[in-house]
Structure 1
Amino acid sequence: MNRPPSNILGKGWLYCTVFLTGAAVMVIELLGTRLIAPFYGASLYVWTSLISVTLIALALGYYWGGVWADRARSGLSLIIAIAGLLTIIIPWLTGPVLLATDPLGLRLGSFVSTLILFSPSLIMLGMVGPFAVKLSTATLAKVGASTGSIYAVSTVGSVIGTLFLGFYLFPVVGSREIFIGLGIALLLLAIIVAYIEHRHLKSAATTIPTALLVVIGIGLYPQIANSNRAESNESFQTRFERESLYGWVRVIDKPKENIRLLTVDASTIGAASISHGENLLAYQKIVTLLPALAPEMKRALLIGQGAGHMAMTLKDYGIVTDTLEIDPAVAEASIKFFGFVPTGKTIIGDARYEIRQLKGPYDLIILDVFTGGSEPTHLLTVEALAQLRDLLTNQGILALNFVSFLDNGQNATLASVAKTLAQVFPHQQVFIADPDTDFNDFIFLATNHAMNLNDESFPDSHRTWLKQRLVNIDQSQGMTLTDNLSALERLQIRKSEHYRRMIIDLVGTNHFIR
């Protein structure tokens, strides 16, 4: 009579196995967004897709793993080997899958691409738990304790994997390299488990298939490691590339058009001419007019530094500008490739935290984080705007740039922005960067005092420019955005789709595939 596997081996090797595979699950889930985000953006929809796919895959894995465990004495090594091979080829498949799902749009495209890329390996990793429970259970009376122990250890592995990835590994190693390394680690784990199964469980049924998968995975490594690189294109050149915690930062030159772009994932946050370095983003021209609205302006805060053009423009008017940028890679690129020279403090961090540390007061605060990419919804709520208001002088101005459609002043998103600002500031005026285009940058100027554009002290050229771009927003179409409830991403779906298509048309889809 054969003794139960747990009596022969103990449970240590099983605990190590489920610990490591539990960590692998979270690594795949977290890193999945870094492969998808450059193409579809790091929006709520991408995160929702990845979490949903992870849960679906694990549910299927739990079920199929239980069925397999009831029918076979061994096979854990084969399961892990399949998971390893499926993981190592994820970077290889990313480009073709993203291109194939592109016509499906932002929400469905991100979900389907996530389902195709990550569910196979996650299903296999989900199968490990039930199989380990079967191997660890000596008697029916101990099945509860065995099951609880296995899934507890797996969960601890997931926690450790999450912390190790986020705090230590990802800041220094690229996402593609981590995926490939994880796949190889799973293949090596499969070899160890196969050895245990062969020597102690006296089962060699899965040894040869496992070894074959390991050989295939290792053999594919050179090709996978060099796959999915952006195709060479004479129309543009990549001058800088850095994968940060917050996105894929790139500086892209288009020499024939004399344009240099600063992008994060599929969002452009800076543009300048290559020859002279002058700013090419039309909406930022309003910065040259703001000092005339408040002649005593001396100190400013720029949230969303980007290429730093607005801060450098304010310097020409004798205004010292503190800059606040969440991404250190953006700050580095702005200095190296756009000639940004700080005039005030340079702060790296998330705005909601950092503004609580600032003392103020500021004569001008520019909130320029709502570009065409993902929406940092936590920075456009009543609570966030109230924090900014408290940093302003009595005659201070909050300038907020926002990308959307005009829709003859009936756009619900613009109405929501205006309505939210109205909860904090008694006065506001809205300007459109280009009066001839419906999809546009909109500049909201919010103050505690009324601004008179007819003031004779205001230069005629400035007055004309602003009046030509003054728009009326029907606030009745909007909702007040709060920390508790903000529908900004839902309201901006059409904008996100349109903007993403514009950027892809500008530099091509392959340029946003990891």
Structure 2
Amino acid sequence: MILLAKESSSYNEISVYEATQLYGELGKFRYLQFADGAVQGALDLKQPKRMVLEYPRAMAHLMEYNHSSFSSLFVIGHGIGTIAGRYPDKRVTVAEIDETVVQLSRRFFGYSGDNVVIGDGRQMLESVPPGSLDYIVLDAFTAKGTPMHLLSAECFAMTKEKLRAGGAILLNLMGKGGSDRLINAIYSTLAETYACTKAFVLQGEGSDKTEWHNVILIAGSRDMDYRLPDMAGFREMEPEQGYLIVDRKT
């Protein structure tokens, strides 16, 4: 493993590495990682167009399978630009609070889009016209996890207003195996706003209650379908009833 860059910002300590192995797969990889060890994006240097991590592959499948001709997408959380970079022919806006992340994605991962705005994703989304988006993707992390103001009932109600009929919101989250109290709360809060909500966990993970794993949530006004072989190892799960997340009163 070779360290290519290490930067500190107001939000994260960010490193870029190259390695010949990533999550047990042999090859030549470059990846961006936060101080907590979580990989925020990875590039296969031998096949740059391949989506390396499972969760963006699963999210792309959900979006494309349910609305193959979608035209508008709003992404909160840039990483290395994997999801945004997949759709150069669509109207994509990316909100990223940490400018250092964007700089590193351009320098080391070849991101060339001019569609990234620096700032808080919720505030940026509030300025989007109602009913103008097909999909909203929430993939935002700091050292403390997903910011809670992006997971509240008030925020989800706002996202619903921005979606077209048949549109959906997708969330990439990290949780622990077994019964994760926060994942349950996010799912239940989402279900208070949206008529149909589904949850997926990465296959083979989640049995150890101390182990962190990827969880994908999708919600919209109609049921979302999928093909299991295209879900990159994710399987559907049924979270337990959780508490409602609301904005803190100031």
Calculate the TM-score normalised by the size of structure 2.
0.84
Root-mean-square deviation (CA, aligned residues, Å) is 2.3
Aligned partners of 1:371 and 1:402 also within 8 Å: no
Give the residue type in structure 1 aligned to 2:60: T
- 1:479 paired residue number: 243
Post-superposition Cα deviations, 1:454-474, rounded to whole Å, max 9, x if no partner, equal xxxxxxxx3544597111112
- 1:280 paired residue number: 52
CA distance in 2, matches of 1:323, 1:463: 28
CA distance in 2, matches of 1:264, 1:336: 17
2:112 aligned residue (317, 341, 347):
341
> CA offset at residue 364 of structure 1?
0.7
1:265 aligned residue (35, 40, 56):
35
Are 1:376 and 2:140 an aligned pair?
no
1:436 aligned residue (172, 189, 204):
204
Give the residue type in structure 1 aligned to 2:190: L
Aligned partners of 1:253 and 1:274 also within 8 Å: no
CA distance in 2, matches of 1:426, 1:397: 11
CA distance in 2, matches of 1:351, 1:468: 26
Give the residue type in structure 1 aligned to 2:124: E
CA distance in 2, matches of 1:337, 1:345: 18
Are 1:247 and 2:12 an aligned pair?
yes
> CA offset at residue 445 of structure 1?
0.6
> CA offset at residue 372 of structure 1?
7.4
Residues 470 and 245 (structure 1 numbering): CA distance in 2 closer, same or farther, change over 3 Å? same
> CA offset at residue 441 of structure 1?
0.9
CA distance in 1, matches of 2:40, 2:133: 24
Aligned partners of 2:65 and 2:225 also within 8 Å: no
Post-superposition Cα deviations, 1:79-133, rounded to whole Å, max 9, x if no partner, equal xxxxxxxxxxxxxxxxxxxxxxxxxxxxxxxxxxxxxxxxxxxxxxxxxxxxxxx
Are 1:469 and 2:235 an aligned pair?
yes
- 2:196 paired residue number: 427
Q: Match of 1:473, SS?
A: coil
Which protein is richer in strand relative to its size?
2
Are 1:388 and 2:159 an aligned pair?
yes
CA distance in 2, matches of 1:294, 1:426: 18
Post-superposition Cα deviations, 1:367-399, rounded to whole Å, max 9, x if no partner, equal 011477533111111111122221111111100
Residues 250 and 463 (structure 1 numbering): CA distance in 2 closer, same or farther, change over 3 Å? closer
1:402 aligned residue (173, 190, 193):
173
CA distance in 1, matches of 2:44, 2:143: 20
> CA offset at residue 314 of structure 1?
3.1
CA distance in 2, matches of 1:309, 1:371: 18
Are 1:320 and 2:91 an aligned pair?
yes
> CA offset at residue 276 of structure 1?
2.9
CA distance in 1, matches of 2:144, 2:57: 21
CA distance in 2, matches of 1:353, 1:285: 27
Q: Could you say which structure has the larger radius of gyration?
A: 1
Give the residue type in structure 1 aligned to 2:17: I
Give the residue type in structure 2 aligned to 1:311: A
> CA offset at residue 452 of structure 1?
4.3
Task: Give the unaligned 5+ runs of structure 2.
Answer: 207-211
CA distance in 1, matches of 2:138, 2:20: 31
Q: Match of 1:355, SS?
A: helix
Give the residue type in structure 2 aligned to 1:424: T
CA distance in 2, matches of 1:279, 1:371: 22
CA distance in 1, matches of 2:142, 2:200: 16
Give the residue type in structure 1 aligned to 2:65: A
Aligned partners of 1:268 and 1:371 also within 8 Å: no
Aligned partners of 1:288 and 1:314 also within 8 Å: no
Q: Match of 1:396, SS?
A: strand
After TM superposition, list the pairs within 5 Å mapping 1:41-60 onto structure 2: none
Residues 374 and 429 (structure 1 numbering): CA distance in 2 closer, same or farther, change over 3 Å? closer
> CA offset at residue 330 of structure 1?
0.5
> CA offset at residue 275 of structure 1?
3.1
Give the residue type in structure 1 aligned to 2:5: F
Q: Match of 1:450, SS?
A: coil
> CA offset at residue 319 of structure 1?
2.7
Q: Match of 2:217, SS?
A: strand
Are 1:450 and 2:223 an aligned pair?
yes
Which protein is richer in helix relative to its size?
1
- 1:62 paired residue number: none
CA distance in 2, matches of 1:341, 1:271: 16
- 1:353 paired residue number: 123
After TM superposition, list the pairs within 5 Å mapping 1:140-151 onto structure 2: none
